[in-house]
Structure 1
Amino acid sequence: MFHTPDYYHNISMRLSEVLDDIGVNENIVMKRRRTALLGETMDIISYRAIGEQGTVYNLGSQSEGTTTVGLQSDTDIFVCANDLIVIQDWSEWTPGEHNILMIQNEKTPPGYCLLQVLRDDAPLPITDEVGNDFVNDTQGRTLIKNTIIDIALQEGRRRQGPSHASAAQQGLLASDIVLAHPCKSWPQSSRAWLHQQETNKWPTAEMKRYAKSTKCYVVGVGSTASENVAFEWRLSTSLAERCLMFNLNITQIKCYVLMKMILKSYINVENVDNESYISSFMCKTVLFHCIASKPSCVWKECNILNCLNYCLFTLNNCLLNEHCPHFIVHENNLMAGKFSAEVKQQLLERMSTLIPFDDISLFGIQIDNLGERLQIKLNMINEVHHDIPQPDECTMDVTSNLLEYTATTVLYIEKIGDGSLETLLQKVIQLKRYYRTGDMLEKTACKLLAPLLCTSTGSLIASQNIQINNTVSPQALTWIEAGLDSDVASSRLKLASIMYCVGNAEIAALILSHIEEQYKIEVTEPKCNCYAFYKYAKRGFGQLSRQYGVEALKYIVAFCVKFFTSEINCVPHELQYEMFRSTQEDLLHRGEDDDWMDCAVVDSLPYLYFLQYKTYSFLQRPEEQQQALNKLGLVIRTELNLAHRETALNLLGQCMEQENRPVDALQCYTSSLHLRERNNAARFHICRCLANTIS
């Protein structure tokens, strides 16, 4: 490889320790991977539960474990629409499916294809003109343009290559959603790799066997070097590539993370679309080629700086030759048409100052304070003078983010569907099937998803019971009891709400008292999936998330409490206003994901204190009632992570009205409107409160 100076060994070991400290270690890598796989399993089950056949994969750095907090890597979501099946030849045509024929010839760039529309009732081509997203070529074939994926472009996202990208916001990572169509079998150009004999025994035969079992996809983007960019589709072997990534050792992962840090710190130049000329995928591809060409004994921690230099040297050669072959489809040059001669020269100049990459260059990397941390390890600076997060804090940041991601994914099961009893039961039946026949990952996913569904089912049945005879049936209570451990508070709050609505105030008070004992404000993290908002990290939550796995959801996460309109009889009248928050004009100011506004949704802790206020009022316990009112006001002022603060203020305002404090009530409603100007029940409360005051 290179001549290795003696001090490289010491720097390599200290560098490896620094990467361990910032979360690039086997423990955190595995946690990231398990969380990503569990999340995509829950997403798939949730889709299947409402009859959708799409498949979701979490790909990219977050799921591979090849990132750090400082790198702020995007979340990459690969959505496979199974309504279209891409076939290689006519023999694969299947009746009853929407078959699309892949065309690859001397005019299509390697790694890309055209897609021809076929008839559903017979293995014959469609020849009619069928709209702006299709084009007829010179041979009369009807081809699909890759612009068709823009139909699914959501508000707030923009087209970037094959993905629908959202920009990073304060406290929220950027995300890329890639829409893909599955191939019936691997294309011939990709298939050659599966049978290729590797001289270095990497990838192994076992890895290739697994890769062969994964699907190949097409994604909507053409080659930048092509004249037919609008109707070309790129072949994607992302699942096979994930298999390769999951089989890297920790030194290889560390090399990849370092390459990305070096790119971000020293090399990258962005084009007019804010995309980097050298992408992290190119770095990953270079790493694959380097691993395949060098013995496994080379890739060890004491040699990490040497390995990194070899990867950078290989990347520099790719730049020099403008040729970076895709690892699986070798004919596909990832650098073809990517940059001009001027940009190439600029990139080469930057690279030339970095090869060989040494300790001085490492010291300049500010991402995750890597340079400073390395100098501390090498006893070059005094650690006391540098305020950088300790290893435990880094681990805490990562694990708390992973647990929050899991909680968000759990809540998605509530977000989809219409909230009807039929839909809820359909979801539960689907979960039972997965639990009986699934693997351990699917069983874990079902255990996390089932409680919320059980609670909602019980609450809906209870609402029907209350409407008929103002009682709650044993059937409803059985369902609710099955869901009580969804999290620390929300399901029990639903039960307390139901007990209050049917007049069982003593039972409601006992349930609320138990919830208050379990809800540790300094630790418990409110969690909502209605919309994205900035959250502040709680140290206590981070410490416990580091110690426990997904079971921590039961003890340190509090979901928001969500009532569909079908559960209206389980909701105190003060909260029912939230189901009717929108005027006709307000409806025009809703986004695509604002269906939650038709529900009554409130954060758990404010709802706990509001229910206590109402319950103690019913029981004529004025001292405890006032304590609950004070706590409600305090939590609205001090809890930073409330997603529905405006709703909590609306509840507090109505309590103030009941206290005969109309001025304070109006102040609450005004504050609520400042938080959410549209689609807010505060408008009704202000009108009602003023009318009552005047009368």
Structure 2
Amino acid sequence: MSQDPDYYWTISLNLSQVLNDIGVNEKMILKRRRMVLLREIMAHSRYGLLGTNISLYHFGSQSEGSITIGLCSDSDALICDSAFIVIQDWSEWQPGRDNLLMIQDETTSPGYCLLQCLRDDEPLPLHTALLDHEPDRYHTVSRGNVLMKNTAHRDFGLAGSVINGPASSRQGSPGCCDQDFVRAFHCKSWPVEAQPWLLQQGIGRWPTEEMKRYCETTGCFVVPVSSKNGQNEDLEWRISTSHAERCLMFSLNITQLRCYILMKMILKTFINPQCDGVLSSFMCKTVLFHCIQNTCSKNWVQSNLLPCLMCCLTVLQNFVRQENCPNLMLPENNLMARRISPHNKLRIIEILQKIIQSKGRALLKIPIDDLGTRLQVKINMGEAFQYHETPGQMYAKISTELLINITKCISVSYKFLLGSMHDGNEMVYERLSDFTLTLTRMYRAMGFNSLEKSALKLFAPLLSSSLGSVIASHDIYTTHSISPEALSWFSVGLNSDVASGRLKLASALCCVGDMEKAVFVLRNIEEMYDLNTVEPVCDCYDHPQYYVRQGFINKCNTGHEELIQHNTAFCVRFLQCEICCVPKELQYEMFRSTQEDRLERNEISDVWMDWAVVDSLPNLYFLQYKTYGSLQRVADQQCALAKLVTTIETERNLGHRETALNLLGQCMEQENQHIDALRCYMISLKIRARNNAANFLSVDFFMYYSTCRNLH
């Protein structure tokens, strides 16, 4: 068939269609980028609210949209500590800051540098005498200079993570990708080594002058990792132009992105399994950049995808043959230096040659996303296979993963900010007020359709609900009423999601004794909470997401982050200073931990264990049970109790099932069904043996039950 003069044209179009079917198209790529950038903005906002020097950036495949479901790419996050500033010229020195001077000399590898520590009171080197008598894990003296070590700045592991070279790697919860966190410092000026790139102009007239001017403004990062050729293993820092690279990736057309994704699939299928994983996706990206820069732009069209791919593979083969893959912006930095053994070199060249000579037939053997089978069907070389997912199903699957990721990010941001509140009630009130007012000012200052505005709209309502609840708790304690101020903040927080904001309001109304209004709010929640489409969301800890309901998946394909308001339900979180807005049955959760339990807790990730936290749906039915009981609406009360039982038994994605069981147990006690109550506590303890209020509830139950028996 390859003798057909239209062969490459036909295969290219079919291949383009296959990639479109698995989600590599403009719409899905833009959706991926939007969701990842929203997460990035939320992270910037929460660190900014806390007044920290941290900025978080999502670089790599996830933010570029250069992935598929089957490629299973990690999420790469760069954590920049702006307490340190890296300078390349003494004129950039700033007083009162930790200034680090970038040094490149005969001992440093291309694309790498040393960081010399400077004084913060005047632009002079830090004196070596400071380290004469005190060994320092962060610094060392070399050739008369105080230099920053790279090793100490790798060891910043996050909860649940494993240190892997310069990265802190954390396994993603089910349904979410794994995460790699790399610490870095920022340098505002463009790397001196990369200055020539700004002046180059290739055949493809890419990047444009405008793009280069933007790239220059992004400066660079320094990452704590040395080169394989370096003489200073503990002292070298890699210069990274990640911001500029993301700009270049965002400028690519769909054919160029598809070419890159195909290269990664080839790498994963044919090369790395046989060659010790010596080639990286960043090398493929670099090859693509070189090819785009040195070929005519009109070649990069869908009908020419296969020849473009062959061109990239040929360039990759030549780089391997020469053992030199020059970084696009820092060409002296050879990405393949000392990475490829003679055996692997010959093997890679041989594999690439076979793929190139196959004129596309090798692609039929790629199992990732059923690419080979799909292509075979498109070009009528085999029977029509029906087992692979349709394009619509693939798009829905991608959209679902993106929406779940963004909701978990909102939940994390909310937990992160609440977790910073360790002071008294008045201080919590002031801090929440500062947060909400700061977010309001930021929101008003942003453009009408800005991405930043969309990001703030996602988690600001949750903070408003908490502020309303803190104020209401104080109101109830002092005046046994809820002030207009509290109600106003509750109102702002109602639309964070389907249920959690409204549940906080209903809980406060219940505690103040306004049962009729509480019933009205709860009825409204139940009408909005479509059991077929609403997905519970909790990120208090890593727990498996066993199942995503089909109705939610279908909804995810119809929009972006605005779906969160109508199709997700966050868990409901109460700080201890909100205790007067918490029914007594739920208050036990605030005191779930004994001193012994606390020794088993992680100080950061388990901060929620000092709060009362419950999933929205069980909380809805529990509050209905309480309010209907108070109003002596027995039939409605029993219906709510039955729904609470059903939810605990059938909803597989509850994050706080043990809490729901504890509430159910107390309901059963009120129903005088003592054996059922005890059973609830025992099941709860099987789910979470420590840091569980059931430990106290079951003891109280036994004491009460024994007393009753003795009286009789």
- Tell me which interval the TM-score lies in, with the shorter structure as reference length: over 0.9
Q: Hey, what does 1:159 align to over in structure 2?
A: 163
Q: Hey, what does 1:467 align to over in structure 2?
A: 477
Compute the displacement of 1:357 (Å). Answer: 4.6
Cα deviation code 1:343-379 (max 9, x no counterpart): 3333333333322353431111111111111112122
Q: Secondary structure at the match of 2:82?
A: coil
Q: Secondary structure at the match of 1:229?
A: coil
2:239 aligned to which of 235, 239, 244: 235
Cα deviation code 1:483-518 (max 9, x no counterpart): 111110000000110011011111111111110111
1:268 aligned to which of 257, 267, 272: 272
* Separation in structure 1 between the aligned mates of residue 485 and residue 172 of structure 2, nearest angstrom: 46
Q: Secondary structure at the match of 1:230?
A: coil
Cα deviation code 1:262-285 (max 9, x no counterpart): 1111111489xxx83111111000
Letter in 2 for 1:551: E
Q: Secondary structure at the match of 2:115?
A: strand
Q: Hey, what does 2:678 align to over in structure 1?
A: 666
Change (3 A) 1:594 1:476: same
Q: How does 1:522-601 map to 2 (within 5 A)?
A: 522-535=532-545, 536-591=547-602, 592-601=604-613
Q: Secondary structure at the match of 1:152?
A: coil
Q: How does 1:357-368 map to 2 (within 5 A)?
A: 357-368=358-369
* Separation in structure 2 between the aligned mates of residue 231 and residue 613 of structure 1, nearest angstrom: 63
Change (3 A) 1:479 1:155: closer
8 Å Cα contact 2:507/2:623 also seen in 1: yes
Q: Hey, what does 1:416 align to over in structure 2?
A: 416
Q: Hey, what does 1:634 align to over in structure 2?
A: 646
1:312 paired with 2:313, answer yes
Cα deviation code 1:37-70 (max 9, x no counterpart): 2221122112111212322211111111110111
1:431 aligned to which of 418, 435, 439: 439
Q: Hey, what does 1:447 align to over in structure 2?
A: 457
1:205 paired with 2:178, answer no
Compute the displacement of 1:209 (Å). Answer: 1.1
8 Å Cα contact 1:578/1:647 also seen in 2: yes
* Separation in structure 2 between the aligned mates of residue 239 and residue 177 of structure 1, nearest angstrom: 16
State the aligned residue count.
690
Q: Secondary structure at the match of 2:557?
A: helix
1:516 paired with 2:526, answer yes
Q: Hey, what does 1:187 align to over in structure 2?
A: 191
Compute the displacement of 1:660 (Å). Answer: 1.1
Identical-residue share of aligned pairs (%): 49
2:663 aligned to which of 648, 651, 656: 651
Compute the displacement of 1:590 (Å). Answer: 1.4
Q: Secondary structure at the match of 1:416?
A: helix
Q: How does 1:270-309 map to 2 (within 5 A)?
A: 276-309=277-310
Change (3 A) 1:410 1:138: closer
Q: Secondary structure at the match of 1:106?
A: coil
* Separation in structure 1 between the aligned mates of residue 20 and residue 46 of structure 2, nearest angstrom: 35
Letter in 2 for 1:145: K
Q: How does 1:87-166 map to 2 (within 5 A)?
A: 87-126=87-126, 127=128, 128-129=130-131, 131-166=135-170
Q: Secondary structure at the match of 1:223?
A: coil
8 Å Cα contact 1:133/1:144 also seen in 2: no
* Separation in structure 2 between the aligned mates of residue 279 and residue 627 of structure 1, nearest angstrom: 58
1:504 paired with 2:514, answer yes
Q: Hey, what does 2:425 align to over in structure 1?
A: none
* Separation in structure 2 between the aligned mates of residue 359 and residue 318 of structure 1, nearest angstrom: 21
Of the structure 1 ranges 348-357 and 328-337, higher mean CA displacement relative to structure 2 is found in 348-357
Compute the displacement of 1:611 (Å). Answer: 0.6
Q: Secondary structure at the match of 1:526?
A: strand
8 Å Cα contact 2:189/2:216 also seen in 1: no
Q: Hey, what does 1:250 align to over in structure 2?
A: 254
Change (3 A) 1:242 1:22: same
8 Å Cα contact 1:112/1:223 also seen in 2: yes
8 Å Cα contact 1:501/1:570 also seen in 2: yes
With the length of structure 1 as denominator, give the TM-score of the two structures: 0.96
Letter in 2 for 1:55: S
* Separation in structure 2 between the aligned mates of residue 7 and residue 372 of structure 1, nearest angstrom: 18
Of the structure 1 ranges 301-310 and 336-345, higher mean CA displacement relative to structure 2 is found in 336-345
Of the structure 1 ranges 168-177 and 55-64, higher mean CA displacement relative to structure 2 is found in 168-177
* Separation in structure 2 between the aligned mates of residue 14 and residue 558 of structure 1, nearest angstrom: 41
Letter in 2 for 1:661: Q
Letter in 2 for 1:556: N
2:628 aligned to which of 616, 622, 626: 616
Q: Secondary structure at the match of 2:532?
A: coil
1:27 paired with 2:31, answer no
Q: Hey, what does 2:487 align to over in structure 1?
A: 477
Compute the displacement of 1:479 (Å). Answer: 0.8
Cα deviation code 1:561-610 (max 9, x no counterpart): 00011111100111111111111111121123111111111110010011
Cα deviation code 1:609-644 (max 9, x no counterpart): 111111111111111111111111111111111111
Compute the displacement of 1:135 (Å). Answer: 4.6
8 Å Cα contact 2:189/2:217 also seen in 1: no
Of the structure 1 ranges 4-13 and 545-554, higher mean CA displacement relative to structure 2 is found in 4-13
Q: Hey, what does 2:393 align to over in structure 1?
A: 393
Q: Hey, what does 2:704 align to over in structure 1?
A: 692
Change (3 A) 1:674 1:348: farther
* Separation in structure 1 between the aligned mates of residue 173 and residue 353 of structure 2, nearest angstrom: 35
* Separation in structure 1 between the aligned mates of residue 54 and residue 561 of structure 2, nearest angstrom: 25
8 Å Cα contact 1:50/1:423 also seen in 2: no
Of the structure 1 ranges 34-43 and 335-344, higher mean CA displacement relative to structure 2 is found in 335-344
Change (3 A) 1:388 1:537: same
Letter in 2 for 1:647: T
Q: Secondary structure at the match of 1:353?
A: helix
Compute the displacement of 1:168 (Å). Answer: 4.8
Of the structure 1 ranges 43-52 and 463-472, higher mean CA displacement relative to structure 2 is found in 43-52
1:606 paired with 2:610, answer no
8 Å Cα contact 2:203/2:295 also seen in 1: no
8 Å Cα contact 1:48/1:430 also seen in 2: no
Cα deviation code 1:2-27 (max 9, x no counterpart): 99953121111111111001100000
Cα deviation code 1:274-309 (max 9, x no counterpart): x83111111000100011111011111111111111
* Separation in structure 1 between the aligned mates of residue 652 and residue 140 of structure 2, nearest angstrom: 56
Q: Secondary structure at the match of 2:24?
A: coil
Cα deviation code 1:366-410 (max 9, x no counterpart): 111111111121223333x53111111111011112222222222
With the length of structure 2 as denominator, give the TM-score of the two structures: 0.94
Compute the displacement of 1:231 (Å). Answer: 1.2
Cα deviation code 1:167-206 (max 9, x no counterpart): 3554331111111101131221122222333343111111
Of the structure 1 ranges 309-318 and 134-143, higher mean CA displacement relative to structure 2 is found in 134-143
Compute the displacement of 1:117 (Å). Answer: 1.3
Letter in 1 for 2:340: F
Q: Which runs of 5+ in 1 are unaligned?
A: none
Q: How does 1:671-682 map to 2 (within 5 A)?
A: 671-682=683-694
Change (3 A) 1:7 1:631: same
Change (3 A) 1:169 1:532: closer
* Separation in structure 2 between the aligned mates of residue 246 and residue 232 of structure 1, nearest angstrom: 30
Compute the displacement of 1:137 (Å). Answer: 4.2
Letter in 1 for 2:193: S
8 Å Cα contact 1:46/1:427 also seen in 2: no
Letter in 1 for 2:510: Y
* Separation in structure 1 between the aligned mates of residue 159 and residue 42 of structure 2, nearest angstrom: 24
Compute the displacement of 1:138 (Å). Answer: 4.1
